[in-house]
Structure 1
């Protein structure tokens, strides 16, 4: 039985962010990309994880390789904490197991105020630009504009709910410390949202880890350095799939 690859999108994006990676797998039905970007009824990261888990189980998924980008990584960690038997492999893609610092929480509050004042389009203009490295943003204005236009359609209530859930999430380093499955870290050295040094510290928390360091990428490696990201995700999934197959023998 093929182990599904489950890709969880981050904040300020939806499942579309995975289109290129999903298209590279054959058959693409082996890749699942739950979407929760428009949900405004979810108040905590745990609630997002519960919705994702219920959705996957309703599709008959019993186990999976779960890789989460940014907020998707927070959801993946909550899922791993609540249902460790579900996880065959875990990936943190520009994400962190650490809780927000007080400074970060204050910035989340400012973002909520900006959403209320400017609306999604006005808020996301600056927010999305900061997701990319300065060099990429300068050289690829069309990609950023397409990103902003697409996610500006999200309901403001959903953007506020997601921001609040990220702010209030607990520290989940113990999930990495207790992990009995392989863990992948994808780290952008120009990331403004997850400090590279903090991301590197996490690698040491779990014994069975591998990592991809993207020297030029900010917070959107799948767009900024897509070939390297696709290669590491494919190899990680194949590795976990081989190990899962051996368990069944």
Structure 2
């Protein structure tokens, strides 16, 4: 299904009935990454998957998609569906968008899980890498996407999950040049959300991969301990939904059940 937001078509799916859970994919992904999770969650919940700006079947707005731009597109979908309370699960860039959304609409959030994602802003080295990537991608799209995508997996899981890796890579290669560049620029501009996430008035959790080269695992674990944020650390890399699929499904379901229980005790 689609809605029009600022003259761009935004794609979303709705599955099941019950409490609303919003799933936001990462950079170079689309909402199909959630298929296994949707099958489980939709038995007792209303699950909304949204293709973020410049990804999947959703069009781009320009050559910079800030996390607020993406959050506003997500809000347009949820408003169209007449939903007022929801839990977010965000993978990588989807986690950044979920945090931006939560800052704008804090009272609407029941829970937020950062899946292989972070509350931290880019450091200067990461910003420089994104700038370089946006220059290089214009002349060598396929090789750049293949290289950057391969780095998201641990070496062993790339072989172990070869079929799923190649399926995900094909989706990444379908991303438009504009979508790639706008996403990189937007992630580069995002603000640090450490204080907000630490003091969030809703349920929070973080899911990490021990071999993830994108996230600072040690500082994230220390941060989570300091602020009593529930954290799960899996054995592999940045793509837990593929590399540690069973554990990922189990822990997300556990997180959702805890939110339902928490909300029930308040009512």
TM-score calculated relative to the size of structure 2: 0.86
- Where 2:257 maps in the other structure, the secondary structure is helix
- Once the two structures are superposed, residues 70-122 of structure 1 have per-residue CA deviations (whole angstroms, 9 ceiling, x without a partner) of 00110111111111111101111111111111000011112112221112x32
CA distance 1:168–1:26, shift in 2 (3 Å): closer
Unpaired runs of at least 5, structure 2: 1-16
CA positional deviation for 1:140: 3.2
Pick from 223, 227, 251: which aligns with 1:232? 251
Q: CA deviation at 1:2?
A: 3.3
Residue 213 of structure 1 corresponds to which residue in structure 2?
233
Root-mean-square deviation (Å): 1.7
Counterpart CA distance in 1 for 2:127 and 2:23 is: 26
From 214, 224, 227, the counterpart of 1:193: 214
Paired residue secondary structure (1:24): helix
Residue in 2 aligned with 1:17?
Answer: 33
1:83 to 105, 114, 120: 105
Once the two structures are overlaid, the 10-residue window that deviates more, 196-205 or 125-134, is 196-205
C-alpha distance in 2 between matches for 1:154 and 1:29: 30
Question: Which has more strand, going by share of residues?
Answer: 2
**Secondary structure class of the residue paired with 2:195:** helix
Alpha-carbon deviation of 1:52?
0.6
- Any idea what SS the aligned residue of 1:76 has? helix
Q: State how far apart, in whole Å, the 2-side matches of 1:58 and 1:29 are.
A: 18
CA distance in 1 between counterparts of 2:67 and 2:42 reads 31
Aligned to 2:155: 134
Q: Which residue of 1 aligns with 2:13?
A: none
Asked if 2 retains the 8 angstrom alpha-carbon contact of 1:45 and 1:169, the reply is: yes
Q: Which fold has the larger relative contact order, with Cα–Cα distance below 8 Å and residues 6 or more apart in sequence?
A: 1
Aligned-partner SS, 1:30: strand
What's 2:117 paired with? 95
Is 1:31 the counterpart of 2:51? The answer is no
Distance 1:22 1:157, change over 3 A: same
Where has structure 1 moved over 4 Å in runs of 4 or more?
none
Contact 1:186 1:211 in 2 (8 A): yes
Q: How many angstroms does 1:25 deviate by?
A: 2.5
